[in-house]
């Protein structure tokens, strides 16, 4: 890219070269004209400057010859001839300084001074000759005297003639020199002028090339920007539509708009869409951009809510309406869900508070029932009332279990997950139920292939509660089996299978480390979860147990606790019973992440 400073200096250089070439051209012309004129002048000078001196000299010689002839034989005719010669000589003298040639000559030698001295003398001589008498014996002597008087004029004329010849020779030499190198200077000037013009042309073409390069570069940049903008418009997850405000014809739509409305412009969905825009945006306003919120029925019952803006753009050299819309239906649904979740949270808090508050009256009822039993005991015939009191007491226990579970369920998860030994927690939980398992004749085995120091993160007591719940559920499943098939309960070991109906009662707990995650398996052989229950197993209040025994909150609470530990819990029927699999992140997973 050429800088503006460089551009300015290039421009100045170009202007200087143009001025120089024009000046040189003019100078060339002037030199040429002046040389031509000089040469013409020299030629003219050569032709004429010696001529008048020569003529005067010739006439002087002729006059002297007449003098000499007449001195030998004086005659009237000879005198007349001499007179004529002298007159001609006299007429030649002013020409030496007062003609064009004479004036050129006087630049070289003084012709006026010497010539005018002799003009008066010559007039006198002419008068003297006119008075001569050829018959007079003295005439010859007088003629010689007059001739002698004229001799200095001959010398002067000789000098002038010699000077003029010398001058002529000099002029001739200069003229020859000029003729030999007629165009050297103008040619040189012309060459320099041409070189200047060539330099201007080179500079101009270089500048044009740079400009052309800049234009091509700018065009390429513009094309790339346009390409990028098109790609953005195509890729943007918002609907971009251009509508001609005069005809309501859709000029452009991007893939998101095609997904929302239709990929084909012939589809009647498009006029419906344009109409919905018109209803929401009102009359097209080409002067400004405005917000646009609208609903659009894709099909009966499927209404999407859209939000965006509408404005005027120059599209395909016409002022058209650009509409950019985002489908906000999901956001609205999410808002509704958030509101629902907030309501549920409030409800949960209320439930926890109610459960807490109920504990007190339940304790009072329990105590009152116990007192009533004690008072009733000595009285005869009180058995039916005692049985009723027993039922009240059992229901109070059930209500207490429910409130306890609700309180646990509604507790806030701990913000900080603390590490604890998985194996230790499982063993503690197993310890809680060991007595009950022995009484029910159920073998409980814990098998672990995971290291003893394997740590998981969460609230240990809550996790223990989860394992206890799974083990109690297994025990209850055996009890249910017994109730379904009473003869099996008296079978050796009391073992039963929902499918086989035979075998040892055994609950196996296995702890493993798989792909840097802890896996806890709780497997029984008590016949498995009733199929109708499998889908709703983790939902609150889903239970198959009698009302005085089950709350249906145990597994729901288990899932909530495992989620808080960033883990998962799933259930399936396998191996003649139910299998629960808990998957948890461990300290090993963190170590692996750190190493990566
Ligand atoms: P509750 O034990 O109070 O019923 P849970 O949420 O703990 O509540 O259990 C829900 C139901 O899941 C039980 O009523 C039972 O039908 C079924 N269930 C749970 N564990 C097992 C299991 N090991 N074998 C068979 N069914 C089970």
**Ligand 1 atom with the shortest distance to the CA of 469:** 7
CA–CA separation, 489 vs 95, rounded Å? 175
Average pLDDT over residues 543-561: 85
Which residue lies with its CA nearest to atom 22 of ligand 1?
474
Let me know: does 454 contact 423? Beta carbons within 8 Å. yes
Domain count, the chain: 4
* 254 and 146 in a common domain: no
Tell how far the Cα of 579 is from the centroid of ligand 1, in angstroms. Answer: 12
In 3-state terms the chain splits into helix, strand, coil percentages (rounded to 5) of 65, 15, 20
291: left (phi over 0), alpha (psi -120 to 50) or beta: beta
Question: If we measure between CA atoms, which residue out of 254, 248, 252 comes closest to residue 271?
Answer: 248
CATH for 545: 3.30.565.10
Comparing CA positions, the residue from 417, 418, 427 lying closest to residue 450 is 427
Q: Which domain holds residue 586?
A: 416-595
Q: What pLDDT was estimated at residue 499?
A: 40
Separation in Å, CA 555 to CA 362, 538, 577:
25, 5, 17
Residues 275 and 250 in one domain: yes
- Residue-level pLDDT at 594: 57
Pocket test of ligand 1: the residue of 555, 569, 570, 576 to mutate, having most ligand atoms within 8 Å of its CB, is: 555
HSE toward the beta carbon, residue 174, CA cutoff 13 A: 14
Give the pLDDT mean for 509-536: 93
Between the two ends of the chain, the Cα-to-Cα distance in Å is 48
Sheet containing 443-448, strands listed edge to edge, beginning at the edge strand earlier in sequence: 443-448, 506-514, 517-523, 577-585, 568-574
In a domain, 176, yes or no: yes
Whether residue 405 is found in the same domain as residue 424 = no
How much distance in Å is there from the Cα of 489 to the middle of ligand 1? 20
**Mean pLDDT, residues 258-263 taken together:** 93
- Same domain flag for 421 and 359: no
Q: How confident is the model at residue 249 (pLDDT cuts 50, 70, 90)?
A: very high
Query: Do 299 and 180 belong together in one domain?
Result: no
- pLDDT number for residue 28: 78
The CA distances from residue 192 to 27, 187, 314, in Å, are: 11, 9, 55
Instruction: State both tokens at 248.
Output: 């309501």
Confidence grade of residue 10 (pLDDT, cut at 50, 70, 90): confident
- Token pair 């320099």: residue: 192
**pLDDT over threshold 60, residue 19:** yes
Using the mean position of ligand 1's atoms as its centre, give its distance from the Cα of residue 530 in Å. Answer: 9
Task: Ligand 1 pocket test: pick from 403, 497, 543 the residue with the most ligand atoms within 8 Å of its Cβ.
Answer: 543
Select from 375, 394, 412 the last residue of a domain. 412
Examine the domain organization and report whether 545 and 514 are in the same domain: yes
Residue 223 lies in a domain: no
Looking at residue 572, what is its pLDDT? 95
CB of 481 closer than 8 Å to CB of 494: no
Looking at the predicted structure, is the pLDDT value of residue 519 above 90? Answer: yes
User: What string of DSSP letters covers 47-107?
Assistant: HHTTHHHHHHHHHHHHHHHHHHHHHHS--HHHHHHHHHHHHHHHHHTTHHHHSHHHHHHHT
Task: Answer positive or negative: Cα dihedral of 194, 195, 200, 202.
Answer: positive
Taking only the tens place, the pLDDT of each residue in 81-104 is 899 999 999 998 898 888 877 777
CB 481 within 8 A of CB 498: yes
* Cα 551 to ligand 1 centre (Å): 9
Report whether pLDDT(178) > 50. yes
Each residue's pLDDT tens digit, 466-510: 999 999 999 999 998 887 776 554 444 433 333 444 578 999 999
Tell me what pLDDT residue 497 has: 38
Note whether residue 215 is domain-resident.
Answer: no
**DSSP-assigned beta bridge partners for residue 581:** 521, 570
Which residue lies with its CA nearest to atom 14 of ligand 1?
Answer: 543
Distance 539 CA to ligand 1 centre (A): 11
Question: Among 84, 65, 89, which Cα is nearest to 147's?
Answer: 65
C-alpha span between 51 and 101 (Å, rounded): 8
For residue 237, the SS3 value is: coil
Cα 22 from chain centre: 48
Residues 364, 461 within the same domain: no
Query: Is 248 in the same domain as 126?
Result: no
- In this prediction, residue 492 carries a pLDDT of 40
Same domain, 394 and 531: no
Q: Does one domain contain both 316 and 396?
A: no
Higher pLDDT, 325 or 552: 325
Residue 182 has pLDDT above 80, yes or no: no
Output the residue whose Cα is nearest ligand 1's atom 18: 529
Q: What is the mean pLDDT of residues 270-292?
A: 83
Classify 410 as helix, strand or coil. coil
Ligand 1: centre distance to CA 393 (Å): 24
> Do 366 and 488 belong together in one domain?
no
Mutate to test the pocket of ligand 1, among 400, 473, 535 (most ligand atoms within 8 A of CB): 473
Least confident interval from 7-21, 229-243, 307-321 = 7-21
Average pLDDT over residues 380-403: 86
435 or 193: which leads in pLDDT? 435
3-state secondary structure of 262: coil
Q: Which residue has the higher pLDDT, 545 or 338?
A: 545
Average pLDDT, rounded, for the chain: 84
Q: What is the pLDDT of residue 52?
A: 81
| Nearest atom, ligand 1, residue 553 CA | 6
Task: Examine the pLDDT at 49 and tell me if it is beyond 70.
Answer: no
Select, from the ranges 135-139, 258-262, 313-317, 408-412, the one with the highest average predicted confidence (pLDDT).
258-262
Does 216 fall in a domain? Answer: no
What pLDDT score does 481 carry? 84
Structure tokens at 114: 């010497």
CB 89 within 8 A of CB 122: yes
Q: Compute the distance from residue 365 Cα to the ligand 1 centre, in Å.
A: 29
Most confidently modeled range among 118-132, 515-529, 548-562? 515-529
- Indicate the residue among 304, 327, 350 that finishes a domain: 327
> For 264-280, what is each residue's pLDDT tens digit?
999 999 999 999 998 88
> The CATH number of the domain where 245 resides is what?
3.30.450.20
Helix (H, G, I), strand (E, B) or coil at 328: coil
**Is pLDDT above 80 for 174?**
no
319 and 297, same domain (yes or no): yes
Distances (CA, A) of 520 to 447, 466, 472, 579, 581: 10, 11, 16, 10, 6
Query: Looking at residues 35-61, what average pLDDT do you find?
Result: 75
pLDDT of residue 495: 36
Please say which residue of 308, 327, 346 terminates a domain: 327
Q: How far is the CA of 548 from the centre of ligand 1 (A)?
A: 14
Is residue 527 predicted with pLDDT exceeding 90?
A: yes
Residue nearest atom 13 in ligand 1 by C-alpha distance: 543
Using a pLDDT cut of 70, give the percent of the chain over it: 88
Distance CA 284, CA 274 (A): 12
11 or 280, higher pLDDT: 280
Alpha helices in 181-308 (DSSP H): 184-235, 255-260, 269-281
pLDDT at residue 226, rounded to an integer? 87
Minimum mean pLDDT range among 147-151, 185-189, 380-384: 185-189
Question: Is the CB of residue 134 less than 8 Å from the CB of residue 78?
Answer: yes
Residue 208 lies in a domain: no
Give the residues surrounding ligand 1 with Cβ less than 6 Å away: 469, 473-474, 477, 524, 526, 528-530, 533, 537, 542-545, 550-552, 554-556, 578
């Amino acid at each position: 890219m050429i800088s503006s400073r460089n551009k300015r200096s290039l421009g100045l250089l170009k202007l200087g070269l143009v001025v120089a070439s024009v000046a040189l051209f003019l100078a060339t012309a002037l030199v040429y004209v002046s040389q031509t004129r000089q040469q013409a002048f020299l030629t003219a000078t050569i032709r004429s400057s010696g001529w008048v001196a020569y003529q005067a000299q010739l006439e002087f010689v002729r006059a002297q010859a007449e003098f000499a002839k007449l001195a030998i034989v004086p005659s009237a005719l000879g005198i007349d001839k001499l007179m004529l010669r002298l007159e001609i000589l006299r007429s030649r003298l002013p020409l030496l300084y007062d003609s064009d040639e004479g004036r050129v000559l006087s630049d070289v030698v003084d012709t006026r001074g010497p010539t005018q001295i002799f003009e008066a003398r010559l007039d006198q001589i002419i008068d003297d000759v006119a008075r001569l008498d050829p018959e007079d014996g003295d005439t010859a002597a007088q003629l010689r005297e007059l001739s002698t008087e004229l001799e200095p004029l001959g010398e002067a004329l000789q000098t002038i003639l010699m000077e003029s010849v010398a001058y002529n020779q000099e002029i001739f030499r200069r003229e020859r020199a000029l003729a030999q190198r007629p165009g050297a200077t103008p040619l040189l000037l012309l060459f320099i002028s041409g070189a200047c013009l060539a330099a201007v042309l080179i500079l101009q073409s270089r500048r044009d090339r740079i400009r052309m390069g800049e234009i091509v570069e700018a065009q390429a940049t513009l094309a790339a920007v346009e390409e990028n903008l098109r790609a953005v418009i195509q890729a943007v997850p918002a609907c971009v539509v251009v509508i001609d405000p005069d005809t309501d014809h859709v000029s452009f739509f991007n893939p998101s708009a095609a997904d929302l409305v239709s990929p084909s412009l012939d589809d009647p969905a498009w006029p419906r869409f344009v109409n919905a825009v018109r209803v929401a945006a009102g009359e097209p306003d080409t002067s400004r951009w405005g917000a646009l919120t609208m609903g659009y029925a894709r099909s009966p019952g499927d209404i999407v809510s859209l939000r965006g803006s509408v404005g005027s753009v120059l599209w395909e050299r016409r002022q058209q309406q650009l509409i950019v819309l985002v489908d906000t239906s999901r956001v609205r649904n999410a808002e509704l869900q958030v509101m629902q979740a907030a309501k549920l949270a409030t409800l949960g808090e209320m439930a926890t508070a109610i459960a807490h508050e109920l504990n007190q009256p339940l304790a009072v009822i329990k105590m009152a029932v116990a007192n009533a039993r004690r008072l009733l005991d000595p009285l005869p015939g009180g058995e039916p009332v005692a049985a009723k009191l027993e039922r009240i007491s059992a229901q109070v226990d059930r209500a207490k279990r429910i409130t306890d579970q609700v309180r646990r369920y509604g507790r806030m998860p701990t913000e900080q997950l603390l590490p604890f030994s998985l194996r230790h927690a499982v063993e503690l939980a197993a310890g809680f139920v060991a007595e009950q398992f022995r009484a029910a004749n159920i073998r409980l085995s814990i098998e672990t292939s995971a290291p003893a120091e394997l740590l998981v993160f969460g609230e240990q007591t809550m996790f223990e509660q989860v394992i206890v719940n799974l083990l109690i559920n297994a025990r209850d499943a055996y009890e249910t089996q017994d109730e379904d098939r009473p003869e099996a309960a008296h079978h050796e070991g009391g073992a039963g299978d929902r499918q086989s109906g035979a075998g040892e009662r055994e609950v196996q707990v296995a702890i493993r480390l798989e792909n840097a995650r802890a896996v806890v398996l709780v497997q029984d052989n008590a016949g498995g979860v009733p199929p109708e229950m499998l889908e709703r197993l983790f939902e609150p209040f889903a239970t198959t147990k009698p009302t005085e025994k089950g709350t249906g909150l145990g597994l729901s609470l288990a899932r909530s606790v495992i989620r808080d530990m960033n883990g998962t819990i799933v259930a399936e029927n396998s191996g003649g019973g139910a299998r629960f699999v808990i998957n948890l992140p461990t300290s090993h997973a963190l170590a692996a992440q750190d190493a990566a």
